[in-house]
Structure 1
Amino acid sequence: MPPSRRSLLVCGVALVVAGCATTPRLLASDVTWPELEPVSVTADRHGLTVRVASKGCVAKADFVFRLDRGAGGAVLAFARRRLETCRFGEAGVVDLVFSYEALGLRRGERFRVANPSR
Structure 2
Amino acid sequence: MNRRVFVLAALALGGCATAPRTVVGAGGAALAELETLQGARAGREALTIRVASRGCTGKADFAFHVERKGGAVTLAFGRRRLDPCRSLAGGTTELSFTWAELGVPPGARVVLLNPLAGG
Given that 2:34 and 2:79 are in contact with CA atoms closer than 8 Å, whether structure 1 keeps it comes out as no
Distance 1:104 1:12, change over 3 A: farther
Unaligned runs of 5+ in 2: 1-18, 25-32
CA distance in 1, matches of 2:98, 2:81: 22
Distance (whole Å) between structure 2 residues aligned to residue 89 and residue 100 of structure 1: 34
SS for the counterpart of 1:101 is: helix
Give the drift of 1:55: 1.2
Identity of aligned residues (%): 44
Which entry has the higher C-alpha Rg, 1 or 2? Answer: 2
TM-score under structure 1 normalisation?
0.68
C-alpha contact 1:36 1:115 (8 A) present in aligned 2: yes
Normalised to the residue count of structure 2, the TM-score between the two structures is 0.67
Given that residues 57 and 89 in structure 1 are in contact (C-alpha distance below 8 angstroms), is that contact kept between their aligned partners in structure 2? no
Q: Distance in 2 between matches of 1:53 and 1:74?
A: 25
Aligned to 1:62: 61
> How many residues end up aligned between the 2 structures?
90
CA RMSD of aligned residues (A): 1.9
**Structure 1: runs of 5 or more not aligned:** 1-10, 18-34
Q: Which has the higher contact order (CA 8 A, sep 6+)?
A: 1
CA apart distance, 1:89: 6.7
The corresponding residue for 1:107 is: 106
